Amino acid sequence: MKYETYIKDTAYGGYGVGTMPDGRVVFIPHTVEGDTVSYRVAEDKKNFTYGELAEVITASDKRGERYCPHLGICGGCTFGHIAAEHQTEIKKNFVLGQLKRAGIAHTEPEVLSADFREFRNRATFRIRDGRIGFFKFKSNDFLPVNDCPVIKRSIVEKAQALASKISGSHTLYVTENEEGMALGKTYASVNGLCGFSGLETEDGVSGLKTILFGTKYGTFHAGFSTFLQGNRYLSGYLQDFVYENSAGKNALELYCGSGFLTLALAMKCERVTAAEIAKESIALARRAELKNVNWMAVSSETLIGRLREKYDMVVVDPPRTGLDKSVTDFIKNSGAKKVVYISCSPDTLARDIKRLSEKYRVAKLTVADMFPGSYHVESAVLLELYN
């Protein structure tokens, strides 16, 4: 049975919000505020439902160009049907909405965005019998593709060259720097490098084990499993945020990865303690040879129990789960005058700032549309100690 509804809002996760005939909320993918659509019930819950879009009856003025033939099918660009400027506005509201619900006062946010075309410097492909592709939306069904407009074209070409030489079902992770040097990781058996600078395969490692990424604050090394900010146009703004808002003699950075943000922090503070649980990331970070940084391969939760120093500022860039309560308790008692918080999750960001709010206020807020085409959003927040 089909129903009709007006889409009144867009929810975090990429679903338009409509209303069932019985008054319950229905979440419908590939829709946006202002659409009138018909839909079928895909999953019926007690207090809400998930719908499957049948037809867009009246299109919202927030819809954008159809830049890819796979929009609405591929599981990647769940926001791809929305015009770029409206995507950014929606994501800003995701962040501000969470802060409002947590009762957190904040400054007017700076909002950053960039062209969606070929913004990705890393990607994970599915390979099926010589072809690259992705999974379909909410499915493990393979969708073959010849191109992807949001991934750097040279990455796609290298993935196609490798895929053509192997059979069966495999996954391929690729990352590439601006000079075109790329690393690939797959558990297939591959003959040759297929245009990659380094490959980790079933047979071991061939070619380079790391490549360099240059930034205005210095160079960092990336390996086959290194976490990278995926937007080649906007990532540098996160370094800028750290640099512009750092001060003091002694700084602490938690969840430092392979030192991307540390490069900027080390230019402003005399001493930096930088911690990351992944030993391979710390090994790569040390290759930057920052003389004023003490790198520590340890979890942030473990490290804070050992620290006895006072810090002028703290920088954190945690995973989507945010900060453990022990970490926010440590920061509150650290005496740090400034805290820079980089977040990829609006809900855990708001939760953690709420925990810190008895000691810190939001002095600056930047919302960055780092992942155009998706519902994901990055935030950079400067917290300052109350006088």
Name residue, tokens 């050992």. 306
At 266, give phi and psi (nearest 5°).
Answer: -65, -20
Q: Exposure of 108 by Cβ count < 10 A (0-12 exposed, 13-18 middle, 19+ buried)?
A: exposed
CA distance linking residue 21 with residue 36, whole number of Å: 14
Q: Which two tokens stand for residue 264?
A: 């900027």
CB 348 within 8 A of CB 319: no
Half-sphere CA count of 122, side-chain side, radius 13 A: 20
Q: What sign does the dihedral 89-91-97-102 (CA atoms) show?
A: negative
**Known active-site residue 74:** no
Cα separations (Å) of 308 from 187, 327, 338, 356?
44, 14, 18, 20
Adjacent-strand bridge partners of 215: 218
- Select which of 74, 148, 269, 344 is catalytic: 344
CB 141 within 8 A of CB 169: no
- Select which of 269, 289, 378, 384 is catalytic: 378
**Known active-site residue 256:** no
CA distance linking residue 84 with residue 31, whole number of Å: 14
- Residues acting as catalytic residues: 344, 378
